[in-house]
Structure 1
Amino acid sequence: MDRFSQISVRTNRYSVPVRLIGRTVRAMLHASELVVYDGQQEVARHERLIAKGKTRLDLDHYLEALVRKPGAFAAARDQMSYRGFLAELLMAECDARARRRSERRIKAAQFPREKSLRAFDFEANGNVDAAVIHTLATCEWVKKGLPLCLIGDSGTGKSHLLIALGTEAAMAGFRVRYTLATKLVNELVEAADEKILTKTIARYGRVDLLCIDELGYMELDRHGAELLFQVLTEREEKNSVAIASNESFGGWTKTFTDPRLCAAIVDRLTFGGNIIETGTDSYRLASARAARAQSAASG
């Protein structure tokens, strides 16, 4: 008996009770029916299949397993048909599997913390258009391989949006990877030293969305900038890159000291993409001040 609680008889398959999975049963094939025994006890009886490669199921054989599924008792209460009951259970199982796949993709993305669009305070930051962000959450830009730039001062929510939109992409079925800019460059430098640079660049090139945070916080030497440029070139017009930076594009020459290389990187990260400016007023700092003021007032 296989893991689907079925036995195979002359190219056809017949169900048996799930409690017998792992047991050896005996099948007697007659002219018009098939009878299955567990020892001397009859455990299943089916009308014989004539055509080859067919399957005959008795839903009662699966009832023991089905009643342990969510919704089973509600279905019994509502007197749902076996067919409807099974359809509901299969849908629940599909939903559960999809949820587990999403959880695996989110874990594989290596986000440093959980962030969601639902938790983003659009009222606190009037620079961020909620309609634009929710359009980005549909992930059409990821599907098309377009870039996204989130530019703004510290505390304006750009990293929150980067992680939240990356999470939306993972939930939509895309392969996502999050990394800090300095961490990525350090990894590329080490890969070059260890003669595995091509393999490392290819690995970063395969994900559907690469999220690079804190680009612009630290100056990169020419070698590091060139390695980062190779990753961006590998992904150009094929897979999306989303970045968060505290520097406007005019200030990127502080990070990429070679003007021509800086211009090429900006071109890779902006061509055909979206640019979201989160502003200069830190609502994180404002929230902290408001909380302290409220605490002082109540004390």
Structure 2
Amino acid sequence: MSELDSTITHLTQVMKMPTIRKVWQSLAQQARDEGWSHEEYLAAVLQRQVADREASGTALRIAGAHFPSMKTIEDFNCDYQPSLRRDVLAHLATTTFIPKAENVILLGPPGVGKTHLGIALGVKACQHGYPTLFDTASGWVQRLGQAHQAGTLSEQLRRLKRYKLLIIDELGYLPFDAEAANLLFQLIANRYEQGSVLVTSNMAFGRWGEVFGDDVVASAMIDRLVHHAEVLSLTGDSYRAKNRQDLIITNEQT
């Protein structure tokens, strides 16, 4: 290794730029072969470093979000959801709602793709640099309940503010007692105009009182969620039911 090679290797280590350490020589040869200017070579090297750093950051944010599975907007079949406005979905996929601390509410019966879209929008948020955290409504209640019992609920709510998007999945599948409803309300109230929340629910707003056992709490929660929100209603048959039916038909034909 020449003195210049050693110097560049040392400098990239000091500057914590491992990608440049790996690619500068091959890109230098390409630059000589193709007659790049100094500026073009510098831009190429920096672009590779930035691209790798962004990809690494995205991977860390996705891992830290604790999604139950990986779903993407591109994999979502809008043909089964004619009521879903594709222009609205495309706008949400830009994640511009997040810096505005706006919310997204996905309503519809089981199996129509609410969780898929919730995860997919969460992945988009991670890709755009926004820390995201996913859990079911029951999971959030359990997390907050443990903090409450430990006397650290206020601290937990403060820590959650570092996440620019919180996803509350499956709200309405299980009813909550008064304490659980109060904990979830505190989470929503703490996020109001401070950070984005994405909620999926199989219950229309008019039935949220059944979930929380209190129409007043439900109304107060809905009021804070929808004040700055995009509400999407999904209809149609269950994807899972359709997939099972397709499988049955396929097996009968074989």
TM-score w.r.t. structure 2 length? Answer: 0.88
What's the % identity of the aligned pairs?
30
Q: What residue number does 1:247 align with? A: 203
**2:170–2:200 Cα contact (<8 Å) kept:** yes
- Maintained 8 Å contact 2:80/2:236: no
What is residue 125 of structure 1 aligned with on the other side?
81
- List per-residue Cα deviations over 1:117-147 (Å, max 9, x = no partner): 0000011221222221111111121111011
Match of 2:225 in 1: 269
Specify which of 118, 142, 151 is matched with residue 195 of structure 1.
Answer: 151
Which of the numbers 213, 224, 238 marks the counterpart of 1:257? 213
Instruction: Give me the whole-angstrom Cα distance separating, in 2, the residues matched to 1:283 and 1:255.
Output: 25
Give the corresponding residue for 1:236.
192
Structure 1 distance, partners of 2:125, 2:212, is 29
| Higher RCO (Cα < 8 Å, 6 or more apart) | 2
How many residues matched? 242
The structure with more helix, counted as a fraction of residues: 2
Please identify, of 279-288 and 256-265, the stretch whose mean Cα deviation from structure 2 is larger.
Answer: 279-288
Alignment match, 1:18 = 5
**Structure 2: which 5+ runs fail to align?**
11-19
Tell me which residue corresponds to 1:66: 24
Confirm or deny: 8 A CA contact 1:180 1:213 kept in the other structure. Answer: yes
CA positional deviation for 1:102: 1.2
Q: Which residue of 2 aligns with 1:34?
A: none
Counterpart of 1:96 in structure 2 is: 52
Whether contact under 8 Å (1:18, 1:65) holds in the other structure is no
Output one character per residue of 1:68-102: Cα deviation in whole Å (capped at 9) or x when no partner.
5xx56544442323432232121111111111111
SS in 2 for 1:141: coil
Preserved contact between residue 105 and residue 231 of structure 2 (Cα < 8 Å):
yes
Distance 1:254 1:63, change over 3 A: closer
State the partner residue of 1:155: 111
- Which residue identity does 1:95 align to in structure 2? A
| Structure 1 residues without counterparts, runs of 5 or longer | 1-15, 23-61
Higher Rg of the two aligned structures? 1
- Deviation at residue 278 of structure 1 after TM alignment: 1.0
Aligned twin of 1:47: none
Aligned partners of 1:111 and 1:163 also within 8 Å: yes
What CA distance in whole angstroms lies between the structure 1 residues aligned with 2:41 and 2:252? 58
1:118 alignment partner, SS class? coil
RMSD: 2.0
